[in-house]
Chain A
């Protein structure tokens, strides 16, 4: 079955440590996205990529980095510069590059906590 796989489901970070969240899709989608979800708030866009080897900052990119070396994969690194990383992170993908015509499909999320 096609879909989006996020791993791990739970992740713990120590102070000063970088951690990387994995997102893989086998839907052959061009565009991929990372969102952060905090309690009582909507999803906030961190980064998105419309094509391999290209990505753009979203609304809250500071303290995060991404790469898009393969169409199927869009890993997110939460760096030590992100002072409040505790949140639920959601990865999504959509079929078209313009993201305005196709719905996004979401993974099951990674919950990141600070030790």
Chain B
């Protein structure tokens, strides 16, 4: 199976919260990252969490890490149309990225 897995699509209404989930297999990663990709562009680092943390909050973004279940999530509060993009989770031990979650924000 894939080392990093994500659901492929999420539709959310403007103003609601979005939650993007990710599971990984390699527990040796020092950091776990979330990146955002807009159409035709490269990846922009959104946030990251150190592997010995459970939660990190950065303005509208909250990252939760469940090390036991190897589950990572990204919550975007008050989702805006500008948040429409593909979101990737990534681990650093093997430089593996998930397939990306396409987030579509509807008015």
Q: Which positions in A face B, CB cutoff 8 Å?
A: 4, 6, 33, 35, 40-43, 45, 48, 58, 90, 92, 99-101, 103-109, 111
Contact = CB atoms under 8 A, between A and B. Distances in A.
Contacts of A105: 45
A105 B29 CA distance: 18
Interface in B17-36: 29-31, 33, 35
Contact of B42 (A42, A99, A103, A108): A108
A6 B40 CA distance: 13
Given A42-B4, A42-B88, A42-B100, A99 B45 contact: no
Given A100-B29, A100-B31, A58 B95 contact: yes
Contacts, number: 56
Given A108-B41, A109-B41, A41 B99 contact: yes
B92 A100 contact: yes
Interface of B: 2, 4, 8, 29-31, 33, 35, 40-45, 48, 88, 90, 92-93, 95-100
A106 B88 contact: no
Nearest to B92: A100
For the complex of A and B, the 7 pairs showing the least CB-CB separation, nearest first, are: A106-B42, A42-B97, A43-B97, A42-B99, A106-B43, A108-B42, A100-B92
Nearest to A107: B42
